Amino acid sequence: MHTHIDEKKLVVGALVIIAISILALVIMPYVQLKPIKAPDALKPYTDLQAKGRQVYMSLGCVYCHSQQPRDPKFASADEKRGWGRASTAADYAYDDVHLLGTMRTGPDLLNIGARQPSQDWHLGHLYQPRAYMPGSIMPAYPFLFIERKGEAKLGDVVVNLPPAYKKPGITIVATTDAVNLVEYLKSLDRTYPIKKSIAESLATDKPADAAK
Amino acid sequence: MNPSSVLDSTSLILLLAFSVSVLGLFVFIWSMSNGFFNTKESGSHIIFEKNEIGLVEDPAADQHNKELQQASGDTDASLSAAELKDRQIADNSSAKPAFICLLASMFWLIIGSAAAIISSIKLHNPDWLVDSAWLTFGRLRTIHLNSVVYGWASMAGIGVSLWLVPRLLKTPLVGAKFVYWGAIIWHLALMCGVTAIGLGYTDGMEWLEMPWEIDVFIVIGGALMGLPLFLTLANRKVDHLYVSVWYIGAALIWFPILFFVANIPSLHFGVQGAAMNWWYGHNALGLWFTPIGLGAAYYFIPKVLGRPIYSYNLSLLGFWCLAFFYSQVGGHHLIGGPLPTWMVTLSIVQSVMMVIPVLAVAVNHHMTVGGNFKAVLHSPTLRFIVLGSMLYVAASVQGSMEALRSVNVITHFTHYTVAHAHLGMYGFFTMVMFGSIYFIMPRIVGWEWPHAWMISAHFWLATIGFAVYFIGLSIGGWLQGEYMLDAAKPFIDSVIVTLPYLKLRSVGGGLMVLGHIIFVVHFILISLRYGHKKDPSLLIPKVNIPFIKDAKIASEELKVE
């Protein structure tokens, strides 16, 4: 019979390794980030905005849009494009599921609400992105809209497309999902000045070190 | 907390975490030194019988392995009838459970490939198939990811691992019925998960989209499928655990823990969720797929060639280094993000440290195959696995580079990263799985692969297709990154510059999908024992004449069912 000492090494070794890994990348960030409070200027999502955020997640917007402008000292173009200052952990205080994203097939959206506050623009752009941004490869989302023959009814949110994209006799009406999604997009505004307390700035990734 | 104490604690934590991991690594290597530094390299011989070294084995090769054997040099090595019979009993014990997992993996390979090619085309034809929500890019690419990760790759990995266990431990598999239940639960859960994603129900984090209510069953299914390894270990006849057992065993321990911690509902929040997200995302690759892929490569390369691994100690050293360093690299997905600096830096450091275990594998595999590359021509198994193993090294070195801030600032948020991810999951892991399945299936069903040309077609379509995919997307992604960093260019330029490369990706991806279809059709054919009934002795390694008769009898008994 074997003493099975190798098995013990395998199991213990594997467990120790994963414990260290959980400690370093899950527990320690948890302990460090948990006490961070939302900035005063940041408001919790309203009901509609929260619903819109669910639509954003459900359609997988995060796979093409990040929500994390980088520090100008690291990647200066982010700020120059008007995407906003480098975000800090506090900016995400109300995000129960993070949507930081890892891809920029499209632009960063953390401050899209500040850049583009128009509901009309957002709705039309969701219906047909190329009507607003020639060359865009964002999918069109016609299923978020209803094509209604004739005039709009009372309470309809009508989409005002640019003239070239209008179909005669057809009114494009936004669904609740589309309206909520736009509510969420318009709420994305972290342009308020952040209190750069030393504690907080140290708690975030400082690419300034990196440049060295 | 006052400012100076924060400063102290962050650098202290960084220093501490790093020292602990390096220290731990050496403690382990030291504690194991009796176990492996003094085994006089005999550990590498454990996968061979007494007089087997020099004897090639590839059930997928043509003509009784004759050409393969010639390429590897003549030998008078042989297996005794009793040894052969033992091995066949071992193979037989894992045949059904492994087959069930592999069959499921084929299903997901097709689903995943279909979702992949449609998603790819959508990126340059954004008005194609836009009328249904489930076909929108954001959902379809997520269906692709979950199908290939949890369907194809995980199922194939588990199937190959289970098949290897009895051979590695020279002990029939114990607890096959747990695998049946586990596979059914996992498979049904995944179907529900993928359907949920199509319908728009998602937990919202990359790699973790399936609703947690479904994830519970993935954990249960995974644990059930892993159980037989440990039951078999308890009964093992072999004295020494071969390096593949370390890799596979650890992976089967790690995955359920990773998946469970990552999916605990309402625990993770905001930016911490992002840290956890990439801790999981990278560990799924580093602690789940990579060890399984390497475990398989460490068995099949020496086994096919009939030649023990070049340095056995190096392989074990590589294992523990991989485990320590790879498990902490997740933060490099968040460079420049709103994460604690120490965490990102720790991950960058560990990413660079990964060069050590990767070199261990590179040297070992190269020296084992080295001087015998002709064998690769005659062994389909080896062709896929050697390619996969080379691309493992390429992917890992590329990964270490990409973790450097100066490179990351360009490649982050671009298709370059997508290409890199596929170099790991496809170039390395999937290729190794293809090769392993070519070896395993003839043993499982007692039948030869019906058509050699289908294996060749699969290999070249997958290889050329992937080369086009990878090279195209890497160039496109790099340009995208350069354009994005140049604020003088409007953002849309960084989109338009990628278009030719996105189209190239669809071309390469199309070839890959074609290769998969051929592979799956071939898999079905061999499973149905299509073609002429072949002499079962063709399926056993070349043996000395006196044993042929016995071997035939043994292989008759092997017949599944």
DSSP assignment of A49-73, as one string? HHHHHHHHHHTTGGGT----PPPTT
Which of B501, B39, B498 has its CA nearest to residue A137?
Answer: B498
Question: Can you read off the two tokens belonging to residue B288?
Answer: 């789940």
Please give the single-letter amino acid code of residue B18: F
Interchain proximity A143–B130, CB inside 8 Å: yes
| Residue A190 CA neighbour count, 13 Å, CB half | 27
Q: Is B212 on the interface with A (CB under 8 A)?
A: no
Residues of A in contact with B346 (CB under 8 A): 24
Task: Please list the pLDDT of chain B residue by residue as tens digits (561 residues).
Answer: 444 444 456 666 667 766 776 776 676 666 555 554 444 557 888 899 888 888 888 888 876 677 888 888 878 788 888 888 888 889 999 999 999 999 999 999 999 999 999 999 999 999 999 999 999 999 999 999 999 999 999 999 999 999 999 999 999 999 999 999 999 999 999 999 999 999 999 999 999 999 999 999 999 999 999 999 999 999 998 888 999 999 999 999 999 999 999 999 989 999 999 999 999 999 999 999 999 999 999 999 999 999 999 888 888 888 988 999 999 999 999 999 999 989 999 999 999 999 989 998 998 899 999 878 888 888 999 999 999 999 999 999 999 999 999 999 999 999 999 999 999 999 999 999 999 999 999 999 888 899 999 999 999 999 999 999 999 999 999 999 999 999 999 999 999 999 999 999 999 999 999 999 999 999 999 999 888 666 554 555 444 433 333 444 444 444 433
φ/ψ (deg, to 5) at B242: -65, 155
List Cβ neighbours of A34 (8 Å cut-off, separation of 6 or more): B269, B272
Which of B273, B107, B245, B99 has its CA nearest to residue B164?
Answer: B245
Residues of B in contact with A95 (CB under 8 A): 269-270, 273
φ/ψ (deg, to 5) at B267: -100, -45
Question: Can you read off the two tokens belonging to residue B54?
Answer: 């020099």
Alpha-carbon dihedral of residues B148, B114, B422, B521, nearest 10 degrees?
80
Which residue out of B271, B320, B327 would a mutagenesis test of the A interface target, given it has the greatest number of A Cβ atoms within 10 Å?
B271
Interchain proximity B413–A135, CB inside 8 Å: no
End-to-end CA distance of chain B: 69
Question: Can you read off the two tokens belonging to residue B213?
Answer: 């209510």
- Residue A82 per-residue DSSP state: T
A108: closest chain B residue by CA: B413
**Averaged pLDDT, A32-37:** 92
pLDDT of residue B300: 97
Question: What is the spatial distance between Cα A165 and Cα A131, in angstroms, rounded to a whole number?
Answer: 7
Query: Would you put residue A60 in left (φ > 0), alpha (ψ -120 to 50) or beta?
Result: left
Give the C-alpha distances (Å, rounded to integers) separating A32 from A11, A28, A29, A199, B124.
30, 6, 5, 11, 42
Residues of A in contact with B406 (CB under 8 A): 210
What is the ipTM, given to two decimal places?
A: 0.92
pLDDT of residue B83: 86
The partner residues of A149 in beta bridges, in order of sequence, read A170
Give the C-alpha distances (Å, rounded to integers) separating B310 from A162, B225, B279.
68, 32, 33
Burial class (CB in 10 A: 0-12, 13-18, 19+), B529: middle
Q: What's this model's pTM, rounded to 2 decimal places?
A: 0.92
Beta carbons of A121 and A138 less than 8 angstroms apart: no
pLDDT of residue B63: 62
Helix (H) or strand (E) holding A173: strand A170-174
Which of A4, A38, A51, A29 has its CA nearest to residue A192?
Answer: A38
Mode of pairing for the β-strands spanning A145-149 and A170-174: antiparallel
Interchain proximity A25–B233, CB inside 8 Å: no
Interchain proximity A139–B126, CB inside 8 Å: yes
- Residue A36 per-residue DSSP state: P
**CA B304 centroid distance within chain:** 19
Residues of B in contact with A62 (CB under 8 A): 138, 204, 206
Question: What is the spatial distance between Cα A147 and Cα A167, in angstroms, rounded to a whole number?
Answer: 10
pLDDT of residue A212: 34
C-alpha torsion sign, points B94, B96, B100, B102: positive
**CA B530 centroid distance within chain:** 29
Option in B20, B130, B254 nearest A142 (CB)? B130
Give the C-alpha distances (Å, rounded to integers) separating B408 from A63, A108, B232.
18, 17, 44
Interchain proximity A130–B126, CB inside 8 Å: yes
Query: Would you put residue A108 in left (φ > 0), alpha (ψ -120 to 50) or beta?
Result: beta
- Residue A44 per-residue DSSP state: P
Question: Can you read off the two tokens belonging to residue A177?
Answer: 């999902």
Burial class (CB in 10 A: 0-12, 13-18, 19+), B449: buried
Work out the minimum CA distance from A25 to partner chain B, whole angstroms: 6
Work out the minimum CA distance from B88 to partner chain A, whole angstroms: 23
φ/ψ (deg, to 5) at A147: -90, 115
Please give the single-letter amino acid code of residue A7: E
